[in-house]
Structure 1
């Protein structure tokens, strides 16, 4: 009897909670009682707690179980093995015929197929939430949106179910979302604390914004450095949604933002004007009405960026759909004080819910228009390509097969057609060999993505950028390429070509040789060193008589002598072969230490490679993005563990257990004077510090190094600037992210493996160091005409021409390697990664 009474009382409580929530989020609506409400399933009202991702997925699983109008799909898993799910909702007949709907919809993307009857086709709508894990209102809104769409008895919900296939990503970044969810719930007060200084509203490092590797996934739609977006893009190209909602949060004192963004300056140059001038306006009226109906304030057109293709709201625009960014002023917890009063979590969720519903309503009402636009988009892509002088791009590095393959994979992932180059070509002084280079024709449906990959843009409608102003991926990969006015095509590649690795047959050898030019040579080296193999490297080039005949090897070549090993020849050969297979590099061998040309293998210019023992300082005051880029690089491209030590733990560190210290950008204010002295002593005794951007400024301030800055602005500021123009005036002085040509000393240990003397570098700071006073220690310096792509003010460009990109400061028996420009930006600058690898493996040779 007591148990029955408790059950009854619990049911009554849930009823009143459900009623309260329904009144707030869905006033005057009736719901199908067979579909469990979020509060009845979770046990609390949405907005009362932050919902853990596993509970969110469990609720979606329940919806798919109880409703024939829902299907839950798992499209992949995060690094922490959380499922990446998409909940598909539509009328039952559509759910049973998803493959047929998809195949018919894909006809719109292929201009060679006849146009299907768009009047009978459902809208394909994707609602994507919480790509930034600490912007949680979107994930909660996804729960309410799914419930409303399946259970609401309203006419609008019925229209959407009947005329759309809605696909809901509850969180593109589940790992980051749970990091923030646990933080907010762990620090929730009873009653909740609205003070912005309260711990609940101030996460520790790293924040929930980022994924497992501390990356901002909303920048990864183009580079695809991470599994979350690799799987998302793979899924995206199976559907090509008409509309994609991308739901975010911004500062607490803001209201709500929806598109259109700032005209021209924040718009992508390859997207048709129709998208911005016509379609955006159509949809904006729906969002305005939805927020007006509940009295929520909003703003448009002032800022936010739709130019960079790596955003979740921009990529769909370059795929014939409409990407829509939404930004809600955040409660960053359960309640927070703002300039307009206290902002509750529930309030932020309700706004996201209303614009979610408005997105679906607009998508359904405009579905025929959007279907025709999708077909028109890909048709005009080909017609624009046909009118362009550039008919194709040819690319390929003759010495770095791995980097070619990485770039090929990126193009194929974005559904860009690539062909083998069927002839030897010489274009603008560059040679592209048959069998080692590839051709991308411009006349293809993905023409606009081809432009994004290869074009260099230096003219802009504005001088203020929310983020990067240049994103030419061919330059990021450091791939030699050229445009052609012809299109010579060999066989089309649908997948990566099968890699056939060279490994010498058994025999009596003096040494095995590996060219350091290959991108994955560092992975090979680490694998060998971890297996106990002694490895040496050459400081100068030589030509050896190998088992395949005479072969030239550049500076940086790995030399693995068969002598001086702690194992017999058979074990050595086995370990080398395993390392080669794991890294995808070619191995050659020679039976003599006497070179045909250049130094012999016993020269003093051939020396042992020190096994790196690396520590990286992280934590409050350092850049989580740069630290994550380094961690991700060493994990995924080298397979090499590095010790990530929080600044607060540095008192327990004995630096003599390590030979390399990495300092990502930061101010390092948490280090005491005694700890700084410990670093100085270790450095003077032979240690290597690798510092990135602001870390070099900190080293300068501590007088650990004594380099020189370039002087301030060359152009004098005017005596008066209107107050309202201050943002634009000061913003024009910033370097949001642009690409430059630099001159590389490839005889320097930091230049090992590079075959050219010029290299593209990425810059997104106004830190300007003069070249080193030591004429041998500025291995990377800007050229006289450096700008390759992006915006730069005239005065900053003049300073760049005079400054160093990479320089070395000798300190006692040690050295500091300064990366004034980040060589690992967003996990996609493969062209400059090798500079960083060289600093780790060859730093002691400088």
Structure 2
């Protein structure tokens, strides 16, 4: 390049970037906190652009990290802690003083000693603390499309590795800073691929760069699972990896960096705060908040605290670390992500990606400084977090939690796997035992009873270091702050006095209010008041891709025998439906018993699967055993079809043939990505059944629509679904259903079937304009449903009646009653099923079909918040699931996702049954 052309090219580049850097006020200087070590390269030198000018992709981030680590090996150690679903390496970068880096393994081991007060006495803990730096975990790109966080991680790493500024050196002496540059690489890579291709720096909200295509700008990982809410389920590869690393390093401070709001946010937290987070942990957010405020005030930056970001739900990456003893905090910056390079605020100023990065960098460094200055006190409180938790457990009535595997040991093992991944100690009893004071989870208000437990039960003793986390995720209900509840009721009262067109105060629930894992897994659970020794083996997490299968190695053909008549397995395990689908899609013929049947002297319940030898190839003998072991299903080889008593045998008309599911799933515009993602994960990874995702708007015009017999519309926009399908698509799908197709929908997918111009169902939403039976309080065709046997108290006192429209329920667990004679509920052992309900979508029951899962009786709330004199009154005698026949096909509707957040395992079987039994061709 000639000397003349160089300045011209530089000028052109500067002009091209000018719209991207349209900020107000003095520019933040990323290089002001020196002097800097010349041998440590600036990221901008390596990348060819300054912060905020371009989005850094994952490969370039790796290149920068390695270059800085090679230039500063005395301060930086690069480690890996796992791989993402798309096989990207997950990095954890330790930055500290040369002395601390040399003894990094010792620091980790000594910190671990503070995490177990049983083996480290207070005096020993004090001695350890005197020579120990604090551990500060800075977590970035959890929501990978919130792009400022990823860029900030690079700048923070460079500052700590390169600067000899006194304040930076003080951080390095007194803290080990752990930088996780990308919690969620896939989300980040999708977003930057889109934005780098189409971003121009336009601040206008209508610009295409602020409206990425479906799935390209989401918080979610490969499977479109929101990792920031997955700390409860620990369902994803990335979540499991980070949990393992946190438990190995025991950080005292954990910051999760997000975006993007109108102003920067950092704690203190808003109410409600999970009651298992002790006051001293909450007080630390004041300390860190004031440290951040001082740093921001130096620049005159705006920010806010408390307001909407609470610490109640356990599944976030501020609450989960807080329940592990850290000061868990979320920081939300005010630019980048969908705001892009530039975003016009409502006052005409512009939020920029560059400024958003600067604020994250400033908050990160301020947090590390505060931790370094408070090193001794913070380490002491970290030790006390577990010590006082164990003391509380000794005083509190709830001493232990018992989980009974029942007929589905694999499902109980899946729950135990989560507990072990959480570092919670679990044992399995070798012999039966009796608890004199036990409380049934399905009778939360009931008196303690004497209860016998079988050998093989799982026991969680609460006098353990992880007591607070164990209580938070296992107890039947988690208390809400009374002050918070009073405020929501006051807002409701004020809103009730305002007209429909007036502005209403928003309620302050940020997320769901109930999540107890025994309910969501459908595992029988009790808590006991006694601590009588029960004996048992302490369990360790198996190092396996299928830890639950290692914990509960069940399944296969009983006795390894070959059947002469049929292979039979009841539908009482989650894996039974998956096994049936595997056989059907593998080319084998499977039938199901629509009534109880008898074979080889044993009675099998409705829904039992029958694989007849006469109607299958010889290879069925070799295939069924390994598949049964994979899914944890015990298969019985039947030698004779003769029913020695009773009216029905496996060769009778009560045994109906099933059809291999050929599944079509609505995807694309109108579908909520997380709803699609949970379904995708369950179909592909749990049920292992093939499916075809198609854009919702293309489904109605598919030439090969009749190649499929199952169509699933997950949660989304019902209006958008209708618009995408169009009149001709709706009519074509109606004909497809009548010819034997099974339409399955929930949330917005269910509402599609109810829309006036669709009208595939008589189900209506309570209080909607289409609800013509608002005064009706009966449930159609529910005469066989068992009455509610176990009432529970409402959470808050009743107030005035506000009419016939449900107020939105902020994610609570309610007691549904099952019609176990209906095929949708085949396999369930109890008449009661805890289900999730969120929002205001209550189903007025079907008059034309069946309502196999319904809300009957009184005191429906099991756990969480409900609105007094509104929720239960309007929920009573409504349906959670409805089925209607149309010709040879069926419409199956759920009020809420049966695969919600992948921790609601007890309702998986409803989806399996809908897929297997709903088709007519």
Gaps of 5+ in 1: 716-728
Determine if the alignment matches structure 1 residue 540 to structure 2 residue 548: no
Q: How many residues align?
A: 816
> Aligned match of 2:866 in 775, 792, 797?
792
CA contact (8 A) 1:78 1:84 kept: yes
Q: Is the 8 A contact 1:201 1:333 kept in 2?
A: yes
Aligned pair 1:72/2:92, yes or no?
A: no
For residue 208 of structure 1, report the CA deviation from its aligned partner. 2.9
Task: Identify unmatched segments of 5+ residues in structure 2.
Answer: 443-450, 489-507, 542-549, 776-802
* Counterpart residue number, 1:726: none
How far the C-alpha of 1:23 sits from its partner, in A, is 6.5
CA distance in 1 between counterparts of 2:556 and 2:72 reads 56
For each residue in 1:750-769, what CA deviation from the matched residue of structure 2 results, as whole angstroms up to 9, or x when unmatched? 11111111111011120111
| 1:97 correspondence with 2:103 | yes
Name the residue aligned to 2:790: none
Indicate if the aligned counterparts of 1:256 and 1:327 stay in contact, CA closer than 8 A.
yes
Checking the alignment, whether the CA contact within 8 Å between 1:396 and 1:432 is kept in structure 2 is no
Does 1:170 pair with 2:225?
no
Cα deviation code 1:577-610 (max 9, x no counterpart): 2212332322211111123455201111111121
Q: 3-state SS of the aligned residue for 2:155?
A: helix
| Structure 2 residue 555 is matched with structure 1 residue 497 | no
Structure 1 vs Structure 2 CA RMSD: 2.8
**Does residue 465 of structure 2 align to residue 410 of structure 1?**
no
Segment drifting more, 616-625 vs 488-497? 488-497
Most deviating of 22-31 and 787-796 = 22-31
Q: How far is the alpha carbon of 1:233 from its aligned partner?
A: 0.4
- Which one of 513, 526, 547 corresponds to residue 482 of structure 1? 526
CA distance in 1, matches of 2:365, 2:625: 57
Does the 8 A contact of 1:149 with 1:161 survive in 2?
yes
Q: CA deviation at 1:732?
A: 11
Range 494-503 or range 61-70, more displaced: 494-503
Question: Per the alignment, do residues 12 and 183 of structure 1 end up closer, same or farther by CA in structure 2, a change over 3 Å counting?
Answer: closer
Q: 1:225 to 1:507 in 2, by over 3 A?
A: closer
Alpha-carbon distance in 1 for matches of 2:456, 2:2:
75
- Change in Cα spacing, 1:507 to 1:691, as seen in structure 2 (3 Å) is closer
Instruction: Tell me by how many angstroms 1:433 deviates.
Output: 4.6
1:397 correspondence with 2:405:
yes
Tell me, yes or no, if structure 1 residue 828 matches structure 2 residue 903.
yes
User: What is the CA-CA distance between 1:688 and the residue it aligns to?
Assistant: 0.8
**1:783 CA displacement:** 4.4
Give, in angstroms, the shift of residue 616 of structure 1. 0.9
Cα deviations by residue, 1:632-673 (Å, 9 ceiling, x for unpaired): 111110111211111243334532111111011222122211
| 1:733 shift after superposition | 3.1
Query: Per the alignment, in what secondary structure is the counterpart of residue 784 of structure 1?
Result: coil
Partner of 1:40: 45
Task: Report what 1:335 is aligned to.
Answer: 342
Within 1, Cα distance between the matches of 2:376 and 2:873?
52
Question: CA offsets, 1:383-403, max 9 Å, x none?
Answer: 110111122111123100110
1:479-516 residue CA offsets vs partner (Å, 9 max, x unmatched): 11111112334222224536154423344521111222
Whole-Å Cα distance in 1 between the matches of residues 814 and 11 of structure 2? 67
2:639 and 2:364 map into 1 onto residues whose CA distance is 69
What's 2:323 paired with? 318
In the alignment, the residues of structure 2 paired with residue 597 and residue 358 of structure 1 have an alpha-carbon distance, to the nearest angstrom, of 78
- Partner Cα distance (2:143, 2:389) in 1: 32
What residue is the counterpart of 1:621 in the other structure?
670
The question of whether the paired residues in 2 share the 8 Å contact of 1:398 and 1:433 is answered with: no
Tell me how far apart the structure 1 counterparts of residues 292 and 853 of structure 2 sit (CA, whole Å). Answer: 53
Residues 185-236 of structure 1, C-alpha deviation per residue, up to 9 Å, x if partnerless? Answer: 11122xx211111010112211332111111111011111111101110111
Contact 2:263–2:303 (Cα < 8 Å) also in 1: yes
Give the 5 Å matches for 1:111-190: 111-112=117-118, 113-114=120-121, 115=125, 116-189=127-200
Q: Which residue in 2 is equivalent to 1:801?
A: 876
Partner of 1:560, secondary structure, is: strand
Which of these residues, 194, 198, 202, is aligned with residue 193 of structure 1?
202
Q: TM-score, normalised by structure 2?
A: 0.84
Q: Secondary structure at the match of 1:117?
A: helix
Q: How do residues 674-685 of structure 1 correspond to structure 2 at under 5 angstroms? A: 674-685=728-739
Q: Quick check: 458-467 or 526-535, which moved more?
A: 458-467
SS of residue matched to 2:918: helix
Mean Cα deviation higher: 318-327 or 510-519:
510-519
- Look up the match of 2:242: 232
| Structure 1 Cα separation of the partners of residues 138 and 655 of structure 2 | 58
Does structure 2 retain, via aligned residues, the 8 Å contact 1:740–1:782?
Answer: no
Q: Cα offset for 1:444?
A: 1.1
| Number of the residue aligned with 1:202 | 211
- Could you tell me whether the CA contact under 8 Å between 1:14 and 1:39 is conserved in 2? no
Hey, what's the Cα distance between the residues in 1 that align with 2:147 and 2:272? 25
Q: State how far apart, in whole Å, the 2-side matches of 1:338 and 1:390 are.
A: 51
Q: SS at the partner of 2:161?
A: helix
8 Å Cα contact 1:35/1:150 also seen in 2: yes
2:502 match: none
- Normalised by the size of structure 1, how large is the TM-score? 0.92
How much has 1:11 moved relative to structure 2?
12
1:708 to 764, 785, 792: 764
Higher mean Cα deviation, 816-825 or 329-338?
A: 329-338
Q: 1:101 to 1:822 in 2, by over 3 A?
A: same
Counterpart-to-counterpart distance in 2, 1:560 and 1:218? 43
Provide the secondary structure at the position in 2 that maps to 1:230: helix
CA distance in 1 between partners of 2:11 and 2:712 (Å): 59
| Greater shift in the superposed pair: 56-65 or 218-227 | 56-65
- Cα distance in 1, alignment partners of residues 806 and 385 from structure 2: 33
Cα pair distance change 1:425/1:812, threshold 3 Å: farther
Change (3 A) 1:432 1:838: farther
Classify the secondary structure of the residue corresponding to 1:323.
strand
Aligned to 1:523: 578
Task: Name the SS of the counterpart of 2:203 in structure 1.
Answer: coil
Q: Which residue of 1 aligns with 2:916?
A: 841
Give the match for residue 391 of structure 2.
383
Deviates more, 1:81-90 or 1:148-157: 81-90
**What is residue 809 of structure 2 aligned with on the other side?**
735
The answer to whether the aligner puts 1:283 opposite 2:288 as a matched pair is yes
How big is each residue's C-alpha offset from its partner over 1:614-640, in whole Å with a ceiling of 9 and x where there is no partner? 111111122111111111111110111
**Where do 1:447-486 residues align within 5 Å?**
447-457=467-477, 459-460=479-480, 461=482, 462=485, 463=488, 464-486=508-530
In structure 1, the partner of 2:621 is 573
Matched residue, 1:722 = none
Task: Decide whether the 8 Å contact of 2:412 with 2:523 is kept in 1.
Answer: yes
Select the residue among 434, 437, 446 that pairs with 2:454: 434
Does the CA contact (< 8 Å) of 1:516 and 1:752 recur in 2? Answer: yes
CA–CA distance in 2 between the matches of 1:573 and 1:804? 42
SS at match of 1:73: strand
Residue aligning to 1:443 = 463
Secondary structure of 2:82's counterpart equals strand
Note the C-alpha offset of 1:58.
1.9
**Residues 291 and 370 in structure 2, CA contact (< 8 A), matched pair in contact too:** yes
The secondary structure found in structure 2 opposite 1:760 is: strand
